[in-house]
Amino acid sequence: MKQHISHESGGLPLDQGVLLHRNQNRSTVACRNGVVCASQPLASIAGVDILKAGGNAIDAAICANAMLSLVEPMSCGPGGDLFAIVWREEERKLLGLNASGRAPYDWNIDKARELGLREIPSHGPLSWSVPGCVSGWEALQQRLGRLHLAQTLEAPIGYAREGFPVSPVIARGWSFVPGDDPGFVGTFGPDGRPVRFGEVFRNPGLADCFSTIARGGADAFYKGHIAERIVKFSREKGGYFSMRDFEDHTVDWVEPVSSSYRGYDVWELPPNGQGIATLQILNLLEQFDIGSLEPNSAEQLHLFIEAKKLAFEDRAVYYADMDFADVPLAELISKEYARRRVELIDPRRAAVTVPAGRLKNSSDTVYLTAADSEGNMVSLIQSIYHGWGSRLVPDGLGFCLQNRGQLFSLNSNDLNRLEPHKRPFHTIIPAFVTREGKPVFSFGVMGGDFQPQGQAQVLMNLIDFGMSVQQAGEQPRVSHEESSTPTGIKMSGGGIVGLERGFPDSIREGLSSMGHSISKSTGVYGGYQGIWREDGPLRYFGGSDPRKDGCAAGY
């Protein structure tokens, strides 16, 4: 049955069924001078405009991210964190940036226990960590960009003041719940209700915030009146932020880590993020002849799910802020470790329980990627975690503060336990692929815990099954849920397997016969963007996920 929004209610006609299950047959975007792939067209176009104006891929990525902060505010914004992997053509090397924030100095396990908490609430002021996004923009711009930050923020500021029509997929996530904070509702529901598809939305508070950052850079956010307003808001709401938390915030340039997969080197950032889970999954899958199997067959999906279970048990135990925890990084992503762990995979039967390896130390997101005519490529991911983050908007600033601090464990024995000025475990992960030292593929898949699963499935489609950069992101996906988590939750009964629409009943039956518990409902898993590069001459091929509103745009 069609589910139109009526004209009488102020919305445009929209068949929600078609929106959720639209055809997956986009063409790959091929171009030479530059390309930007993002989850909303205005962001992709704004990024391309920056390239045409003389900016490079780094400038374009910052602009696209800022635009997404406006047009997809439930997923990202200056109240969240940022990670990036950048191929710098001049140096012929990859650079990694961790711009995630830390817990307040005044927030710790003892205070959580005094409040009677067994876990950190998913929303509200106790879930806050310092937002790292703006510091990430400035770090990228100062080291690698060509334009001033003010130029990259010009288009987002203009759209925030003048308004833009809300796109359909994003409109589906533009929702409120009873009890939402009046400041949040007032910012994102100016008429007291969610904004509908096609309606024009303006955010003058965000325009003012971006204008302040354009004039004063990151210091205006972390040491000026923006931080002061956030800290004042924190005191009013019962949070633990202080000016010291913002003034002491720093970003880290880090060395990406890698593992090979059938001749390709796959690159991720080290923890506090979960990127190495992708490498662990691929190390296990490499020991099976995936390419000889039918794509998305029960046999292939079973091996993938079992590899995911093993990687996520390690994720639950070992992944944490490496400034606080001795993470056995090299061993976790080693081929030798994978050869030991793969013995736990039964090719014909699903495991109900799996252990973490015995080593020495027993939500909503936006992803975008950009490339330019010089060969620079950026893989960037940014998020406020859950939809609308903490669901709290500091007075007049026009953005939600993230709830990333909810991912700390309150078990004092866990590596990822809550500690003052510590980074929480993070789900958002940019990825990159090289071959023989040359850049090949910049990509990412949004979706909280699903991200390593989505990345592995995209890479199997590309490398094992020979699909194009667009086709690799369009195939139906499988998601395994209810693994153990870094917050202390343990897997029970082997977890649940979810299948997207498009899988025949025979696949459900095949997986069920192997012992997998299959969800009766079909979900939508992740949101992918990717750029494939070919040299001699330089060409880019952009892919964008039909599950989102966005597109690949280039020239």
Question: Catalytic site residues?
Answer: 365
SS3 369: strand
**Burial annotation 18-37 (CB, 10 A radius, 16+ → b, else e):** eeeeeeeebebbebeebbbb
Over 184-219, what HEC string results? Answer: HHHHHCCCCCCCCCCCEECCHHHHHHHHHHHHHHHH
Nearest to 37 by CA among 407, 365, 366: 366
> Would you list the DSSP string of 135-201?
HHHHHHHHHH-SS-HHHHTHHHHHHHHH-EEPPHHHHHT----TT--HHHHHHH-TTSSPPPTT-EE
Number of neighbouring beta carbons within 10 Å of residue 1:
6
Rounded to 5°, the CA angle 417-82-44 comes to 150
Nearest to 354 by CA among 479, 491, 486, 481: 491
| CA separation for the pair 224, 47 (Å, rounded) | 28
> Would you list the DSSP string of 95-125?
EEEEE-----TT--HHHHHHTT-SS--SSSG
Over 461-523, what HEC string results? Answer: HHHHCCCCCCHHHHCCCEEEECCCCCCCCCCCCCCEEEECCCCCHHHHHHHHHCCCCECCCCC
| CA separation for the pair 550, 44 (Å, rounded) | 7
Instruction: Name the helix (H) or strand (E) containing 341.
Output: helix 335-341
On whether the CB atoms of residues 47 and 147 are closer than 8 A, the answer is no
* Region at 466 (left for phi over 0; alpha for psi -120 to 50; beta for the rest): left
| CA separation for the pair 150, 119 (Å, rounded) | 40
| CA separation for the pair 255, 263 (Å, rounded) | 21
**What are the structure tokens assigned to 123, written together?**
């929303």
SS3 368: strand
| CA separation for the pair 301, 186 (Å, rounded) | 45
| CA separation for the pair 446, 319 (Å, rounded) | 19
* Region at 536 (left for phi over 0; alpha for psi -120 to 50; beta for the rest): left
**What are the structure tokens assigned to 227, written together?**
């931080």
